[in-house]
Amino acid sequence: MGALPAEPWCIREQALDPARAFLHETLFALGNGYIGMRGTHEDFGTVADGTLEGTYLNGFYENEPIHYPENAYGLARTNEFMLNVPNAKRVALFVEGEAFDPAAGRMLAYERVLDVRTGVLERRIDWESASGKQVRIVSRRLVSFARKHVAAVEYAVTALNFSGQVRIESFVDSAVTNLLAGDDPRVGSAVTGPSLEVVQRDVDDAQVLVLQRTRNSGFLLATATHTTVVGGAFVERRGEGQAFEAQLAQGATVTLCKVIAYVSSRDVAEDDVASHALNELKHASSAMFAALAAEQSAYLADFWRQADVEIVGDDALQQGVRFNQYHLLQSAGRDGKTNIAAKGVTGEGYEGHYFWDTEIYIFPFLLFTKPEIARALLQYRYHGLPKARERARAMSHEQGALYPWRTIAGEECSAYFPAGTAQYHINADVAYSVRLYLEATGDFDFIAQYGAEIVLETARIWLGIGSYDMQGRFCLNAVTGPDEYTAIVNNNYYTNAMARMHMRFAVQVAERLRAERPADYARVAAAIDLRGDELAALTAACDSMRLPYDDTLGIHAQDDSFLSKKPWDFANTPKDKYPLLLHFHPLVIYRHQVCKQADVVLALLLLSDEFTLDDKKRDFDFYERVTTHDSSLSSCIFSIIAAEVGYRDKAYEYFMETARLDLDNTHANTEYGVHTAAMAGTWLGVAYGFAGMRLSNGTLRFAPTLPAQWQRYRFKVHVRGALLDVVVDAHGAMYTLAEGDELAFTHHGREVKLSKTQPAQRMGDAA
C-alpha cells in the first residue's frame, strides 16, 4: 500500500496497513501545545510489532542521574525525559459478546481522516464479527486548542444487519512505559520500567480520577475522565473505568462521549492538581463533543486566516505545507513554562528535549503568524535563566548564563559534551530571537521586562570564554557550531559571527534602556550586577572578533582548522552508511572535512546583511559539496540560500526535501516523532526563500520569485501590528494590508507604502 493521497487540507488513510501503522501513529497524532496523543486507535491495540501507544504532556518529565563510566568535572549530571502518561482514550467494544478486533472477523470498510481545518481525527470502520454481525464504528477525537488540559473522544456504534447487545467499556490505562532508545540516540530514552506510581484511584459510574507521582522528579499527575452514553446505559465499573450496554435494533446507534483532563504539579500547586483536573472536566463535559469540536474549528479558522500558505500548482506540496504548519501549532508550548520539543508532542524521539531548533527554525514561523506564542517561547527562556546561571558556574564562568543544548526544565541533559555543551552558540541563538521579536513587533515593553536580562546575562559568556590572540583578535576557542560533524574547534565562523551580533545587540539594548527607561535599566543592572565597564568590553570584543576567511578560495572558513582536514570520500561511501553518525566513530568524522548540516550557510541567512551576493554564492558552492544533510535541519537552509543566489532548480529540490519530509518519511525515522525544525523550514523556504523576505535594521524586504512548478503562492505575516497578505504569481506580487493602519517595506529594492486609504499595491518583477 502506498503513501497517503495528496489532498490540500487533510491526510487520509484508506486501508488499515500494519506495515505503516507505526509511521501513521505519528502522522495522525493530535496535540495542543500541552497534550499530545499519538494516532493509535481507541479500541484496539497496535496492529504491528514495534508500534507505540503514546500520550505526552509538554514539559512533564521524569529525571534520572547520568552515569559515566569515566567521569569528569562539569559533565551534565541529570537527564530529563518526557514521560508517556496514562492512555485515557481507551475503549473496548463487544458485539453480542464478541470483542471487536480487526485481526478477527472481517474489515468491510476503513477510512481515517485528519482535517487540519477542524482539528478532529475521524475514523469510520464497517466490521463483521466471526458470527456475521456487522457494525459501523465512527470515532472522532480532538485535543482542544481552546482548553489546554482537555481532550475528547466520541465513539458511535451502529448495528447494520442485526438487532442485539452492544457493550462499550471506557477506561484509563495507567500502566504505561517509555520507548527504549537502543543504539539510536534519536529514538527514545534509556529508562526501563514504569516511572509513574499510582497514589490514588477513584472510579464512579461516570468518572475516573487517577493520581500518580513520578519516582524521581516528584511531580503529581492527575488523569481524569468523564464518560456519558446516548442510546445505552451504565452497567458496571470495570477497573479504571466503566462499562455501558445498549440493546440496539437494526440501524440504531449508541454513542459514547469521553472527556479527558490532564493536570500536573508543573501546572498548578500540588494540592490543587486533582481539583483542577476535575474542574476542567466539569466545564468541558458539560459542553459535550459537538461544542468542543465547534470551539476547535473556530480556533483553527482564526489560525488559518493568519497563517495559511497557499500554493497553486502542486496538491502534494500544498498538503505537506499545511500538514507541517498544523503540527507546529500542535507542538508549541504557549504558557511561558514550556517550549517546543524536537519531535513536538508526537513521539519520544530525543526524549522530548528542547533544542536551539526553536529559536532559529521554529520561532520565525510563529513570530510572523502567531506572535503571542512567540512571546511565550521567549518567556520560557527568561524563566530558564536561573538554571542557565547554574550551568555557567559549573562551566567555571563567574557571571552570566549559559543555556543548555538539550533540556526540558533547564538542566543540561546532553551527556555528550563535544556536540552538546560545546555548542555555545545557543546563547546567541536565543539573543537573535529576542532581536527578531523586537524588530517584528516593536514590543520594547517585553525587552524591558524580560528581554534585556536574557540578552545581557547571556552576552557575558562571550567575555568569559573569549580571549585576544597575539594579533589582537578576539577568539572563541574549543566550541562546536551547528555542524555536529565538526566538534570542539577554534573560531567556528557561525559562533563567532553570531556572538558578535549578540554582543552588539546587548550593548544597544542596554543603552536604549538607560536612555528611555532609566528605572528599568537600574532594576536590570542591579538584578544582574552589571558593571560599568562591561558594555565597553563587549564593544571591544565585537570590534576585534576573529572571523575565519580563506583568501585563496574566497570563502568564509567554517573554523580555523576545517580547510586543513582531509575531505570525506563521498564517492566511496555507500548509501547504507548514512547517516554517518550511526556508522563511524565520532573521531573519524571529526578528522574529515564533512558537514552534517548548514553551518556557515546558516550564518549567510541569519546575518544576511553582512555578506555580498558573491560571498553567498562562493560559500554555498563550497559547503554544498561537503554537506551530507544527515540532519533534517539542513535542506531548508540550503534551499533559501540557493534561491537567493539564483540557483532556482537547487532551491526547489532542497525545498521539496523539507516540505514532505515527514509525510514521505524521507529520513526513515518519523515513526518516533515529527521533525519540527524541518516543518518550520518549509515555511521559511516559502517566506525567506522564494519570497526573499528579510527583516533587519528596521527594514522589511521582499524579493519574490515564482518557482516554475507553481502558478502562484500566498502567505501572510504579522509585522509591527499589521497583517500583510502577500500573493506572488507570474505577473509579480500583490501586497495587501489585511490588518493595521500602515506598513512600509521594499520590493526588489523599491519602496512600498500601504495604509488604510491605499491598502493594496501590485508590484512587478516576480522573476
Q: Directed axis angle between helix 315-331 and helix 273-307, to 10°?
A: 150
DSSP lists the bridge partners of residue 514 as: none
What distance, in Å, lies between the first and last C-alpha atoms of the chain?
40
Q: Is 751 exposed, middle or buried (0-12, 13-18, 19+ CB in 10 A)?
A: exposed
Residue 366: closest CA among 374, 377, 356: 374
Relative to beta strand 220-230, strand 253-264 is: antiparallel
475 phi-psi bin (left φ>0, alpha ψ -120 to 50, beta other):
beta
Tell me whether residue 597 is annotated as binding.
Answer: yes
Relative to beta strand 253-264, strand 196-203 is: unpaired
Q: Which of 42, 240, 245, 484 is catalytic?
A: 484
Q: What contacts 24+ positions apart, CB below 8 Å, involve 52-55?
A: 52/22, 52/25, 52/179, 52/347, 52/348, 52/671, 52/672, 53/84, 53/87, 53/173, 53/176, 54/25, 54/84, 54/179, 54/347, 54/348, 55/84, 55/85, 55/86, 55/87, 55/88, 55/89, 55/176, 55/262
Tell me whether residue 596 is annotated as binding.
Answer: yes
Active site residue 80: no
* Amino acid making up residue 663: L
Residue 419: closest CA among 337, 348, 502, 350: 350
Residue 681: closest CA among 690, 671, 669, 673: 690
How far apart CA 152 and CA 143 sit, in angstroms, is 7
Residue 668 DSSP label? S
| Three cell numbers written together for 639 | 534551499
Q: Which helix (H) or strand (E) holds 246?
A: strand 241-248
How far apart CA 728 and CA 746 sit, in angstroms, is 15
What radius of gyration do the chain's Cα atoms show? 27
DSSP lists the bridge partners of residue 10 as: 115
Residue 647: closest CA among 618, 684, 606: 618
| Three cell numbers written together for 462 | 562571550
| Three cell numbers written together for 550 | 580563506
> Following CA atoms 124, 127, 133, 139 in sequence, which dihedral angle do they give, to the nearest 10 degrees?
-30
Tell me whether residue 551 is annotated as binding.
Answer: no
Length of the chain: 767
- Neighbouring residues of 506: CB distance < 8 A, sequence distance ≥ 6: 431, 455, 456, 459, 535, 538
User: C-alpha distances in angstroms, 700 versus 440, 711, 720, 734, 740?
Assistant: 9, 25, 10, 16, 16
Tell me whether residue 356 is annotated as binding.
Answer: yes
Residue 241: closest CA among 256, 227, 262: 227
User: C-alpha distances in angstroms, 413 versus 25, 196, 419, 420, 753?
Assistant: 27, 21, 12, 9, 48
> Following CA atoms 332, 335, 338, 342 in sequence, which dihedral angle do they give, to the nearest 10 degrees?
0
- Give yes or no for a contact between 666 and 660, defined as CB atoms under 8 angstroms apart: yes
Instruction: For residue 390, count other CB atoms closer than 10 A to its CB.
Output: 15
User: C-alpha distances in angstroms, 247 versus 29, 181, 234, 506?
Assistant: 33, 47, 12, 71
**Which residues belong to the active site?**
484
Binding residues for substrate: 356-357, 596-597
Binding residues: 356-357, 596-597
